[in-house]
Structures are given as C-alpha cells and as structure tokens.
Amino acid sequence: MKLYKPKTSKGSTRSRESSGERFSRLASMGEQIFHADDLANLWNIRKASTLHMTLSRYVSQGLLYRLQKGLYSIKKPADLHPYSIGLKALHGPAYISCETVLFDAGVINQPPQFIALVSGASRRFTLAGHNYRSRKLADAFLYHDAGVDTTDGVRIANLARAIADTLYFNVKKHFDVPSAIHWDAVRDIVRAVGYPPSIMQSYATTK
C-alpha cells in the first residue's frame, strides 16, 4: 500500500527550524543588529502577524532585544557599539564622520554632543541612550568610498574624508588644531569624491 505524503512548499524547512537553529544561524553571520524584515527573510516568515508574534516571544524570552520598532539585537544594548547602533538604525548606506572623527583625531577640542553620521537622510535621533545626528549627502558622493574604511562591520571616515565632508556641509567650519590635518590628503579626497573645489577656498594654500 502506497503511503500518502503531503506536499510541502519551498522554504518550509526553514519555517520549522527550532529557536536554537535560528539563533545559531544569526550568530554565524557575524551580525549583532537586525531589522525585522531581515529576520523575516532569514527565517522565511511571510505573514506579518506571525513575525510579530515570533519576535515578541523571543524578546520576552531574552533571546532578542528590541532597540526600537523594527530593530532588534542578539546582544544587550549596553554591550553594543554605539556606532553600530546608529548605522543600523539608518537602514541604508552610512558611515561615521565629521565631529566624531575630528574630535577623536584631536582636530576640534569640544566633544560633540552626538555621534555624527553621513547618510542619505537628515535626522537627529536618540537610541539606546546615545544621541545621533545624520547629515544627508547626495548619492553621487555618499556611494564613493574614498577615505571610508570598514572595521568590524563599522564604516568610518578617515581624518581626510571627515575634513572634506565637514567642509562640504560647512565651508566656514573652524578647526581648533589645523596643524593636525594633512591638507594635501584632504584635497585628494575632494577630487576623488567629486566635491566642489570651492569648499577648499579657505585652505587653498595650506599644507
């Protein structure tokens, strides 16, 4: 007698994964922060109600931490790098730049009251106890990686790129320690990214 075997749709194997298997796969990706739609795709969850119920259950069990609506992490917020939180929250191309990099390099003396980002959106927001300011940069410049490095998944401008970005947003920006700046490197970044040469007018002959 031939036994009847019900048909299964493609992707149903993932939907039957245990919680342990799901989180094991997340950990193997090397990521710590996820958007809800990313988790839905990874876990093959198609219905919004099922996703909401699943995420709520994992949060209550302490397997996930909710950073804000639609943004979750597999680590406690206090254990996450503030840069990673801000970059993930923007959910698009972005990197750390401007005041944050300038202060770390000793070019400006006053510590910024926010973590400075450059992205495709102009926003100020607070998340997990950290203040952020994102300045909007045109795609033609934003997608150019000259002077932007990636370390442990965090994209951050080097000093020359951060100076060029800052002058693009504010050509009259004052630098407390201009001698710490390699101006030829800044000019190279301005040319590579395609920023208007006029942003360097105050430092045209500075070495």
The residues spanned by each domain of the chain are 18-79, 82-203
Question: What is the rounded distance in angstroms from the CA atom of residue 189 to the CA atom of residue 200?
Answer: 11
pTM: 0.85
3-state secondary structure at position 82: helix
Q: Quick check: 68 and 128 in contact, CB under 8 A?
A: no
Q: Please give the pLDDT value at position 6.
A: 38
Neighbours of 152 (CB within 10 A): 8
pLDDT at 192 over 90: yes
The pLDDT of 100-114, averaged and rounded, is: 97
C-alpha span between 151 and 157 (Å, rounded): 11
Per-residue pLDDT band for 13 (boundaries 50, 70, 90) equals: very low
169 by DSSP, 3-state: which? helix
Q: Grade residue 204 by pLDDT with cuts at 50, 70 and 90.
A: low
Whether residue 160 is predicted with pLDDT greater than 80 in this model: the reply is yes
pLDDT at 138 over 70: yes
Percent of the chain with pLDDT over 90: 78
Q: Does pLDDT of 89 surpass 90? A: yes
154/82 Cα distance (integer angstroms): 10
- 62 DSSP assignment: T
Given a cut of 90, whether residue 132 has pLDDT beyond it is yes
- Yes or no: is domain 18-79 CATH 1.10.10? yes
Is the Cβ–Cβ distance between 189 and 146 less than 8 Å?
yes
Would the pLDDT of 17 be above 90? no
